Copies of this chain bind each other. A is one copy, B any other.
Amino acid sequence: MLNTIFASRPEESSVRENRCDGPMSDCPAIYIRDLKLAYGGHVIFEGLDLDIEAGRFTTLLGTSGVGKSSLLKIVAGLQAPTGGTIAASDGKPISHRIAYMGQQDLLFPWLSVVENVMLGSRLRGDRRDPDRAMHMLEQVGLADRRDALPSQLSGGMRQRTAIARTLYESRPIVLMDEPFSALDTFTRSKVQELAAETLAERTVLLITHDPLEACRLGHRLFVLSGSPAKLSPPISVPGCPPRSPEDLGLLETQAELMGTLLDAHTAAD
């Protein structure tokens, strides 16, 4: 019943299970090995191994406070792990080719919406691309607020600006931390599709709390749970993102995911 409503984008599921287009030529996979993070004596996770496949969406779920954002920050090079290694499959450093969107929107209050979208160009001193920025803003439905200041936006509008900023970056590796949490169902679904299209063939690590979102967008899903946290075995979703919420494969995966989450949850209690 619920799912029939998302009838906007019916799509044949691809024949090759779980593989749609190949990765972009310069999109590396990321290998996480034996990662450990502890604050003081408190171990958040330990012995974590994870392969983030090249050119695919990897989705990470888990209870609040389990260490998802920390993991993302470590991959982004923003935080040093207590132990372990992170490497790209091509051996080159990771940190200079990522687009990162944190749990907060982090808009710059002194820049207008469109300038916030082009923040990367501004910060690097590159040539700005207003056309591209406006295209992104149109896609997230904020074209008419291009000159507004962040303080004049609603919560969801701020988040959409941050998404536009992340997509504008056009990087081979994209790391996103609950990017759609402040959006209503329909706006969310539209922006999810935008992200899936724009980021197809990129190496994406996406944190989300919404199982449906995870199943619509992810090629592989992981659940982080426990204390110290461990990763679940990967759950593969058939078909190419963005999947229609009607998609049968999606519904099955969602059920499997809910099971995994429930296990994680009851184990934690």
Q: Using a CB–CB distance below 8 Å, which chain A residues touch chain B?
A: 1-2, 5, 39, 61-65, 67-70, 103-104, 152-157, 159-160, 177-178, 181-188, 209-211, 251, 254-255, 258-259, 261-262, 265
Q: Which residues of B contact A185 (CB under 8 A)?
A: 209-211, 258, 261
Q: A64-B159, A70-B154, A185-B209 are in contact. List 4 more A-B contacts (CB 8 A).
A: A64-B183, A103-B182, A155-B178, A185-B211
Supply 16 A–B pairs (Cβ within 8 Å), ascending by A.
A5-B258, A5-B262, A61-B184, A62-B184, A64-B154, A64-B155, A64-B159, A64-B182, A65-B153, A65-B154, A65-B157, A182-B209, A184-B261, A185-B209, A185-B258, A186-B262
> A181: which of B2, B62, B182 is its contact (CB, 8 Å)?
B182
Q: Which residues of B contact A61 (CB under 8 A)?
A: 184
Q: Which residues of B contact A160 (CB under 8 A)?
A: 64
> A154: which of B2, B69, B251, B255 is its contact (CB, 8 Å)?
B69
